Structure 1
Amino acid sequence: MPKTIKKKPAKKKPAEAEEVKHVALQALDLMKKRQRQVIIIVSVIAVAALLLTAFRFYSSSQTGKAYAVEREADDVYYAAGKDKALPATERWKKALDLYKKSIDIKATPTALFNLGNCYYNLGDYDNAIKQYNVFVNKFGSNREILPLVYQKLASAYFKSGKNDKALEATGNLAKVGGGAFKDTALLLEARYYDSAGNTAQALEKYRALVSEFPASTWSAEAGEKIARMTKQNNAGSTEQKPAGGPASK
């Protein structure tokens, strides 16, 4: 019976072995590069997370500091603390300094508004206007305080003789909340025209207030003003009429 001859496996050629080795080394290098990339990405994410945590802590810390100073300023401004015995002017000056410190740490809507009010109460209308405008630019989306800011801004402009700017502020007030404060804007405009001696314009504003907002808290005042002005106008017209009588022959 013939013997089965087993074939020996062919040895790899040196060139093939080198090629396999080269491919293996390339794969190893690629793995190392990818590992480095992963390490870099993970490191970046870790650093970003640490920075975010630090920022949040710092922001929270700053907010806490600003709030503490603002509360102290509120106590002085509203005469609720130990300084309530101080004269109003002294309280406003002290509160002003505290509000400024609070804003230097971190500005808040209430601190900015009350800082403007301190200037306003002290008769420094230019600085009051400046702070109110800072509020409008920085916290214009705050619909709770914005109407009050526009009222004070208009009043500060009126008191400083900048009537056009004041009327612009009342116009902006009339637009807040879809016209929810238009009655107040009309009242401020009517009062201005009344004080300026422009009876016709004042009457127009008062009548618009009563007509458009009969349930407004200002409608009673507007009604009284309309009655007074109408009476004065009628009296003036009567005085100007020449006395009637039969013509002399």
Structure 2
Amino acid sequence: MTYRIKVPPRTLPVDEAHLVSNLEHWLDGVRVYRGPLLVGAAILVLAAGIVGGVLWYDSQTMQKAQDLEREATLHYFTRPADDPKKSDTNLKEAVTLYKRIVEEYPRTATAPLAAFQLGNALVQANELDAAIEAYKRFVLMYGSNASLLGLVQQRLGYAYLLKGDRDQAAKAYSAVLDVPGALNRDHALFELARLEESLSRPEGALAHYQDLMKNYPNSPLANEAAVRLKVLEVKKSPDPAPASPAPPKKP
């Protein structure tokens, strides 16, 4: 006697009435919450538009700042040495353009460099007070830019020296030593040592020269510091006692 093995169906019959009921419930829910859904969709579209607009505006702003910086730098570095009038015109144009970047586009990545170059250009124009203010403004606005901050403080020290204010120059040079990762600390130490020499304070000068030679032996200023150190040590050593006169010869 043979037996037939019943194989269960591979798929279950679909309850079409149940599916239709669920679809109707979903459509009813959509109709009920259509207003909030439309509002949410509109908000998403608006937010996307705002984000896109901001990104586009930032891109345009950055491009304008970069264009101004290139033009300013071209004027600044192409001043003809044989034409003082043209050189002065170029310098003034560079100052104007650097000022525009700092004032109109202060939050762009180009602004810190423009602020630094503005101070440098004003020093070249012998507008020392304006240059000092430009450097101070950099410190206030872009003090977190460690790669430029040390250079700005050094230039600020130069500007003060040109004005004859040695105390403020010393403070600016000392500030370089407090900038994490500053690459010009050797220059700051050298300038501090020279300041101490000019103020007839050899002990302070010796300390700065020794610090430079110890911590920055590969600096291009280390050899000059060594020479100055020897000169100061010679000046510091007491003069040898004068030789006693020879007794007169007996006749």
Normalised-by-shorter TM-score class: 0.7 to 0.9
Q: Residue 95 of structure 1 contacts residue 118 of structure 1 at CA under 8 Å; is this kept in 2? A: yes
Partner of 1:213: 216
> How many percent identity over aligned positions?
29
Q: Residue 112 of structure 1 contacts residue 135 of structure 1 at CA under 8 Å; is this kept in 2? A: yes
| Deviation per residue, 1:209-236 (Å, 9 max, x gap) | 12332222111111111122223334xx
Partner of 2:23: none
Partner of 1:238: 239
Q: Would the alpha carbon gap of residues 243 and 221 (structure 1) be closer, same or farther in structure 2, given more than 3 Å must change?
A: same
Deviation, structure 1 residue 245: 5.1
Q: Residue 193 of structure 1 contacts residue 201 of structure 1 at CA under 8 Å; is this kept in 2? A: yes
Structure 1 unaligned spans of 5+: 1-27
The within-5 A match list for 1:86-235 is 86-87=83-84, 88-107=87-106, 108-178=111-181, 180-234=183-237
CA distance in 2, matches of 1:179, 1:122: 27
The within-5 A match list for 1:11-160 is 34-79=33-78, 86-87=83-84, 88-107=87-106, 108-160=111-163
Q: Would the alpha carbon gap of residues 168 and 63 (structure 1) be closer, same or farther in structure 2, given more than 3 Å must change?
A: same
CA distance in 1, matches of 2:163, 2:41: 60
Q: Please, what TM-score do these two structures have when normalized by structure 2?
A: 0.73
Pairwise CA RMSD of aligned residues?
2.9
Q: Residue 62 of structure 1 contacts residue 105 of structure 1 at CA under 8 Å; is this kept in 2? A: no
Structure 2 unaligned spans of 5+: 1-27
| Deviation per residue, 1:44-90 (Å, 9 max, x gap) | 2222221222222222112212211211111110117xx67642444
| Deviation per residue, 1:135-171 (Å, 9 max, x gap) | 2232233333222112102222333344443333223
| Deviation per residue, 1:77-122 (Å, 9 max, x gap) | 0117xx6764244432221112122333313122111111011122
Q: Which amino acid aligns with 2:52?
A: T
CA distance in 2, matches of 1:142, 1:229: 37
Q: Which amino acid aligns with 1:238?
A: D
CA distance in 2, matches of 1:122, 1:60: 33
Q: Which amino acid aligns with 2:239?
A: T
Q: Residue 116 of structure 1 contacts residue 127 of structure 1 at CA under 8 Å; is this kept in 2? A: yes
Structure number having the greater helix percentage: 1
SS at match of 1:148: helix
Partner of 2:20: none
CA distance in 1, matches of 2:119, 2:183: 24
Deviation, structure 1 residue 191: 1.4
SS at match of 1:44: helix
Q: Please, what TM-score do these two structures have when normalized by structure 1?
A: 0.73
CA distance in 2, matches of 1:174, 1:34: 65
> After alignment, is 204-213 or 155-164 more displaced?
155-164
| Deviation per residue, 1:20-46 (Å, 9 max, x gap) | xxxxxxxx7x96673322222222222
Deviation, structure 1 residue 182: 2.9
